[in-house]
């Protein structure tokens, strides 16, 4: 078992850190709101630290799951950042969905300090984190990944290295691009069923086992029909991710017309006051249009 630090105890990080403790690792947590770190320790044991640097001291692996590029830089760098507290040869594992640019920047910074860095964004949402069933896509040096994988698997059902540094974040972009189109298609299908006078649940029961089936359909159709949108990844975060995808597409010369369109649809959902609704709230936009 390893000495591990976990930075960021949001809806994803809190249960992920819990699975590390359950697996027998010696876990120190850090959270910007200290009360949440204290609550985690009361539930899971281990300890909490006042800064990322203090959390990272003595740890073989430092995991992070925070909000965005700036949040990640904040917990990694500076006088109180984790990099300042990490020892030579230790590994930072970033589970945040961030840009490829910040990943390249932090990988280089870590390497210059004698540290290792793995980009390891996750898929599976809050339920996946709570059930220890996340899918984790990684980039980084192969020997570093190999050493980190057993620890990461504490909260994952699949973990795979896709290539050199940045490959994990690029793969997460593919994931979000695919989800955006799927959710819009499902929203349109259910909206059409409603307008046509069909029983949406019965329709999904028939088509869900065929070519139209998807994780989104199985896990979201009931709440979409019920007009409930408090069950997963928020629209605000999806827009953050899609903006990363669209910027990167411009850089690599990829065409993402559907992704760009769905991003604007999510912007409409935000205007309806749905920034914190889950991503299946695209159907709310269609209902609002009549």
What amino acid positions are annotated as catalytic residues? 172
One-letter-per-residue 3-state SS of the chain: CCEEEEECCCCCHHHHHHHHHHCCCEEEEECCCHHHHHHHHHHHCCEECCCHHHHHCCCCEEEECCCCHHHHHHHHCCCCCHHHHCCCCCEEEECCCCCHHHHHHHHHHHHHCCCEEEECCEECHHHHHHCCCEEEEEECCHHHHHHHHHHHHHHEEEEEEEECCCHHHHHHHHHHHHHHHHHHHHHHHHHHHHHCCCCHHHHHHHHCCCCCCCHHHHHHHHHHHCCCCCCCCEHHHHHHHHHHHHHHHHHHCCCCHHHHHHHHHHHHHHHCCCCCCEHHHHHHHHHHCC
Query: Residue 118 in contact with residue 138, Cβ under 8 Å?
Result: yes
State the pairing for strand pair 116-119/3-7: unpaired
Q: Determine the length of the chain.
A: 290
């Amino acid at each position: 078992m390893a000495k591990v630090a976990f930075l960021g105890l949001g809806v994803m990080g809190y249960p992920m850190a819990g699975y590390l403790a359950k697996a027998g690792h010696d876990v120190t947590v850090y959270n910007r709101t200290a009360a949440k770190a204290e609550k985690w320790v009361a539930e899971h044991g281990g300890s909490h630290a006042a800064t990322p640097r203090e959390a990272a001291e003595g740890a073989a692996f430092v995991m992070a799951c925070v909000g965005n590029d700036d949040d990640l830089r904040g917990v990694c760098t500076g006088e109180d950042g984790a990099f300042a507290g990490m020892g030579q040869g230790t590994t930072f594992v970033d589970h945040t969905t961030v840009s490829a640019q910040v990943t390249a920047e932090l990988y280089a910074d870590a390497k210059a300090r004698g540290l290792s860095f793995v980009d390891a964004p996750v898929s599976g949402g809050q339920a996946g984190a709570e059930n220890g069933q996340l899918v984790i896509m990684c980039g980084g040096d192969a020997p570093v990944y190999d050493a980190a994988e057993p620890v990461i698997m504490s909260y994952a059902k699949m973990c795979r290295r896709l290539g050199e540094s940045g490959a994990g974040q690029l793969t997460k972009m593919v994931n979000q691009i695919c989800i955006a189109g799927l959710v819009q298609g499902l929203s349109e299908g259910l909206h059409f069923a409603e307008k046509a006078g069909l029983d949406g649940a019965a329709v999904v029961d028939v088509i869900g086992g065929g070519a139209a089936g998807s994780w989104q359909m199985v896990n979201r159709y009931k709440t979409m029909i019920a007009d409930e949108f408090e069950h997963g990844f928020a629209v605000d975060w999806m827009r953050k991710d899609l903006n990363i995808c669209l910027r990167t597409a411009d850089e690599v010369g990829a065409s993402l017309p559907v992704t760009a369109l769905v991003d604007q649809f999510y912007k409409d959902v935000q205007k309806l006051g749905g920034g914190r609704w889950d991503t299946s709230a695209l159907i709310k936009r269609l209902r609002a249009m009549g």
